[in-house]
Structure 1
Amino acid sequence: MIYEKINLRDISSKLKDSNAIMSTYIPENSEEININKKRETIIICPGGGYVGTSDREAEPVAFKFIAEGFNVVVLRYSVAPNKFPKALTELAATVNYIRSKGEEWNVDSNKIIVCGFSAGGHLAGSLGVLWDNKILEETLGLSKDDIKPNAMILCYPVITSGEFAHKGSFDNLLGENTSEGEREKLSLEKLVSKNTPKTFLWHTFDDGAVPVQNSLFFANSLAANNVPFELHIYPSGVHGLSLCEELTAMNGQSEHINDHVSTWFNLAVEWIKKL
């Protein structure tokens, strides 16, 4: 296992004022199994309303994906008072760095997947719809192909800035006094194109913090642009379920343990293996 904590300011001169950290969990290949194996790499963006990054949606999720044989990177990206596009440039630089480590980390460069929860889902989704936007190319000095994710896993994601918005996330990302028009520029369902990566989405119908319409709007936009996706809407479950197990339950709260919704993880693994 290659485990490192890497300050993003150390991997790019364009991020010299960044305090973001990526934690890497890279399984080493074995001659007994497959010394030449190339692995899918999952970049986890924990949620936290762009004001923090949740421990419950970070390392425990990484361990679960590692057990399935994937490379995993957890990105603790910049949050408020930092504003857009700080976190987005950090995620884009992370994708580029992983591609640059292709041989050393046995990376399948065509299967780099961003996985985000809640506001982390908005960050992951933002890269999915903006990877070919000039703002990233000009800010980082990297080619579009180097920062493009190949797929996305969006878990109860913040998507829309409209009627069903999670207002707090947009307040923290853009500022409380930002106009409706400025917020709409980061309403992800309006930014989907035919170049948006394949997507796996899941949400609960009665999510009381980030309404289910967020995932429905994004899925509808993917369909309109002929982008393949898999969508699971579970009938019931609180926001922030993570793995839906005791391991990730907030202070042991039973409402964060949900055997039915926990099936999202195995479904996502099956989906990844068919990419």
Structure 2
Amino acid sequence: MRVEKLKAGAAELTVYLWEPAAVMPLTATRPLVLVVPGGGYEHVSQRESDPVALRFLAAGYHAAVLRYSVEDGARDYRPLSELSESLALLRARAEEWGIRPHQIAVCGFSAGGHLALSSAVLDLPGRPADQQRPDALILSYPVVTAGPYAHRGSFVRLSGTGDLEAHRAFGLEDKITPAVPPVFVWHTMEDATVPVENTLMLVSALHRAGVPCEAHLFPRGKHGLSVCTAEVGNEMPHPGRWFELAAEWLGEQFNYHV
């Protein structure tokens, strides 16, 4: 394994790469999963960072973690700009690092799920021609709506105000189009921080737009489960099956089986 650290604006991008092996010619290039942790745009969750990336690495993917701007730095679409720049950096290094440039999935958790989905549906101010989009999305208990079921703190930090009208620009369930890439999403019914209605609204919007989607709702589990292991302080084997399901789903999307 090889580790690279890059800067994407004020953000930090940590990349975990498989070294090519002549005896495994079918994996001379690999898809990459870019992990975007949650934290309510207030902090970047450690339990949703490297533990997730290393699981995808073990599943045969290149992996990366984006530590993006939070608190006051979350305003003015800065995290979205940093995610776009990270995707551009990965695609620019694709030949050098053995990344398949059109097989990059973004895996986001909670507010990181909001950021991941934003990268597929929101335009940066000025709509730069080089804005980057993901090829697939894996969303874990994502923040989606700015309406009654909103994780309000996320929208306050994104907009810099408590004005509910200003929050609507960052709500996503009404911005889904057929251009959104395939989506895998999971949530727990007991989530008291980001209500499951966020995912229900998203799945409905994806279905209406004809976007391929696989969704899993688990009956038990609090918010922030990450990979549901003792390592992250949330050992729950049943919802923990999300990872194997997501890895299998992604392999089907990219026709990648190792």
TM-score interval w.r.t. the shorter chain?
A: over 0.9
Q: Alignment length, in residue pairs?
A: 252
Cα deviation digits, residues 145-202 of structure 1 (max 9, x gap): xx1110100100011000100011111221233x322211111101111101110000
Q: 2:206 & 2:119 partners in 1: Cα distance?
A: 15
- How far off its partner does 1:209 sit? 0.4
Normalization by structure 2: what TM-score? Answer: 0.94
Residue pairs, 1:1-275, within 5 angstroms? 1-8=1-8, 15=9, 18=10, 20-34=11-25, 37-82=28-73, 83-130=75-122, 133=123, 135=125, 137-138=127-128, 142-144=129-131, 147-177=132-162, 179-249=163-233, 256-275=234-253
Percent sequence identity over matched residues? 38
Normalization by structure 1: what TM-score? Answer: 0.88
Q: 2:244 & 2:26 partners in 1: Cα distance?
A: 26
- How far off its partner does 1:36 sit? 5.8
Q: 1:66 & 1:136 partners in 2: Cα distance?
A: 36
Q: 1:57 to 1:136 in 2, by over 3 A?
A: farther
Corresponding position of 2:256: none
Which amino acid is the alignment partner of residue 248 of structure 2? E
Cα deviation digits, residues 213-270 of structure 1 (max 9, x gap): 0011011110000000000000110000001100111xxxxxx211100000000000
5+ residue gaps, structure 1, are 9-14, 250-255
Q: 1:193 & 1:35 partners in 2: Cα distance?
A: 34
Please tell me the root mean square deviation across aligned C-alpha atoms, in Å. Answer: 1.3
Cα deviation digits, residues 122-159 of structure 1 (max 9, x gap): 100100112xx362643xxx424xx1110100100011
5+ residue gaps, structure 2, are 254-258
Structure 2 contact 31–103 (Cα < 8 Å) conserved: yes
